[in-house]
Amino acid sequence: MERGVYFDAWFPRQHCYHPSLPPRRLKMIEDLESYRATALVWSALGGGSISLPYLEQEAWQKIDPRFRMYGFINDAEFIQHCQKKGIKVFGIVFEVQGWEFPVELNETEDEILALNELRGEGKKRWLGLREFTQNRYPKLWRPLEHYFSGGLVNSDGEQVTDLLEECVSRDIFGAPCHSTWVECPDREHYAYLMDRNNPVWREYLKAIIRIQIDAGVAGVQLDEADLPIFATGYGGCFCKDCMKLFKAYLQKLPAQDLPKELEGEDLEAFHYGSWLLQRGYDFKANRESTPLYWDYIRFQRQTIVEYFGELADYIKSYGAQKGRDVQVSGNFYYLSPHYYPFEPKTDILITEMDSTSYRQPSWCRYSAGFAGGKPVIVVENPYGGVPPELLPKLKSGQGYDLFRMMQYEASALGINERPVRGLDGQRHRGLVLGAARPGRRDPGLHRRPRRRAVLHGDLLGNGCRVQRAEQLRLPRGARIGPSVPVLVGVRRAGRGETTFRSRDAAGRQAAAGHDHAGSAQPVPDPDPARMQLSHLGPGTRGERVPGPRRARARDRRRRTEPAR
């Protein structure tokens, strides 16, 4: 059981500037203790995608006495203090982001006068991964060779002189893709969308992991863990390493499995990007009907498993060198099926939701099954779904019933859901989900258990059968969400015990409805409109979940109802 907090902890009324999180303070730890948090995600040491020296500053930089006055601490101190309180801090590796920021420097280039938010002082320059690779500011940052003796060498055997240009995902025309969702439109900074298929980038990510572990993290969280599949939404990826690997993948296919479009093709000279351009495709319009698209996705589904595994193993082995079992996790966004083969390499599953609504039983069941009994921390989407309307309600003392219902549902269906109203007066964030042992009491569902509402239930193949409900009018034997499709069946293994069934490979494939290495069949994400909980009430058995149209109408009605 974990009580996770989504702990960017950014400043109120200001952007969340990825990748560097605001400095931590002792007061934050007091708040986290009062929330009874046990794990912090997106919570520390994100600056590696600016540079390694910058990351080291986040970890160990000396704090000015004026900032000590208000309890500011560096990230290593934060991690240590959290550990004393039983709170595990996960270092965040923003795998898909490669940054450059505008900076203002003094004349001798040994002092930063402004960074990102400029103030018109000194000399304006750029500071980020490119400058780090080129040792552009020796008085500010240690050289690349301090971290990689002999520098970095790419898959063509060339010395790397620009990490951004080397490791970025590219569209079919060779243009770099951007991580646009983290770039602030009113700022000059930019983030390239990076590619883990490039071995240079994996070497770099391992250096980030080393620094995080040296700084004491309990775990490492690999964000956007499906790069470069992630890049397909941005026209990628046609970088040199993806093209080499795809060609090698096709060459290795048995003759009978070779796509028919490639019959008679000289695979030795094959380049997917050029091949598509010759046929008039740009991999942007009608992408999913582009020739070989699903073959390409199937290939990438193999590479993401391999390279996530490589980093996960590295976290474990470097942690072991330091005498610690460092936990491994990632951001398995919405638990999309292609993340399913990652699960054996992880200790805890962390995911952002695509859309958060008040009731989403099929998704809760899916998550519980996906995790196979491991803890799940689910973070709500702060921009979509119901949080933008729910958080102001909670802040003004309304909507507690809606809030509770989300938790009852998740708890009944095998995960525990716990939105927190935000830390330090922030209006955002912090849906917290505990872990997923159905039938177990959740002692932390509420901080003040005046009306403790706990469901004890068995997860069945098609829903949840309530065994006992405290403070909830649910009869023994009531079923929840019976017609919602579930992906992993659960059966009772013994008196009072529940065990997940499908741990074998065949079961896993059937469970996810998806063969990561084989079938090209796309698996749709759960349709939010279907994520409605059927009625709960005395004698309820096998009630139908409303169809999408009815569900949407009902949802609209509910959202406009005044909170009680």
Q: Which one of 4, 228, 341, 463 is in contact with Zn ion (CB under 5 A)?
A: 228
Binding range to Zn ion, per CB under 5 A, among 2-10, 150-158, 227-235, 400-408: 227-235
Residue count, binding to Zn ion (CB under 5 A): 6
- Residue (234 or 408) nearer to Zn ion, CB: 234
Nearest approach, Cβ of residue 272 and Zn ion (Å): 11
Nearest approach, Cβ of residue 195 and Zn ion (Å): 4
Q: List C-alpha distances in Å: 17 to 21, 57, 115, 361, 403.
A: 7, 17, 11, 33, 29
Burial zone of 201 (CB within 10 Å; 0-12 exposed, 13-18 middle, 19+ buried):
buried
- Residue (242 or 412) nearer to Zn ion, CB: 242
Which are the contacts of 308, defined by CB distance < 8 A and separation ≥ 6? 222, 225, 330, 342, 345
Nearest approach, Cβ of residue 193 and Zn ion (Å): 10
- Residue (53 or 228) nearer to Zn ion, CB: 228
Amino acid found at 444: G
CB 83 within 8 A of CB 100: no
- Residue (195 or 380) nearer to Zn ion, CB: 195
Beta bridge partners of 39: 4, 88
| Nearest-angstrom CA–CA distance, 416 and 431 | 10
- Residue (197 or 329) nearer to Zn ion, CB: 197
Q: Which of residues 233-292 bind Zn ion (CB under 5 A)?
A: 237, 239, 242
Closest listed residue to residue 283, CA positions, set 241, 242, 231: 231
Strands 112-115, 97-105: pairing kind: antiparallel
Q: Which of residues 446-465 bind Zn ion (CB under 5 A)?
A: none
Q: Which of residues 470-529 bind Zn ion (CB under 5 A)?
A: none
- Residue (166 or 417) nearer to Zn ion, CB: 166
- Residue (217 or 237) nearer to Zn ion, CB: 237
Nearest approach, Cβ of residue 468 and Zn ion (Å): 52
Tokens of 523: 């698996």
| Nearest-angstrom CA–CA distance, 214 and 55 | 12
- Residue (178 or 421) nearer to Zn ion, CB: 178
CA 305 to chain centre: 15
Q: List C-alpha distances in Å: 71 to 27, 34, 81.
A: 7, 17, 12
Nearest approach, Cβ of residue 228 and Zn ion (Å): 5
| Nearest-angstrom CA–CA distance, 253 and 233 | 26
Q: Which of residues 326-385 bind Zn ion (CB under 5 A)?
A: none
- Residue (16 or 193) nearer to Zn ion, CB: 193
Nearest approach, Cβ of residue 137 and Zn ion (Å): 29
| Nearest-angstrom CA–CA distance, 78 and 80 | 5
Nearest approach, Cβ of residue 403 and Zn ion (Å): 42
Question: Which 3 state secondary structure label does DSSP give 126?
Answer: strand
| Nearest-angstrom CA–CA distance, 180 and 189 | 11
Question: Which 3 state secondary structure label does DSSP give 146?
Answer: helix
CB 366 within 8 A of CB 395: no
Closest listed residue to residue 164, CA positions, set 183, 179, 148: 179
Closest listed residue to residue 93, CA positions, set 314, 241, 305, 298: 314
Closest listed residue to residue 433, CA positions, set 360, 386, 377, 375: 377
Beta bridge partners of 168: 194
- Residue (237 or 368) nearer to Zn ion, CB: 237
Name the E strands within 81-195: 88-93, 97-105, 112-115, 123-128, 190-193
| Nearest-angstrom CA–CA distance, 434 and 8 | 19
Which positions from 186 to 225 touch Zn ion by CB under 5 A, shown as an x/- string?
---------x-x----------------------------
Nearest approach, Cβ of residue 210 and Zn ion (Å): 24
- Residue (191 or 469) nearer to Zn ion, CB: 191
- Residue (106 or 180) nearer to Zn ion, CB: 180
Beta bridge partners of 236: 171
Nearest approach, Cβ of residue 170 and Zn ion (Å): 7
Nearest approach, Cβ of residue 66 and Zn ion (Å): 46
Nearest approach, Cβ of residue 233 and Zn ion (Å): 14
Nearest approach, Cβ of residue 242 and Zn ion (Å): 3
Binding range to Zn ion, per CB under 5 A, among 228-236, 256-264, 286-294, 480-488: 228-236
Residues that bind Zn ion (CB under 5 A): 195, 197, 228, 237, 239, 242
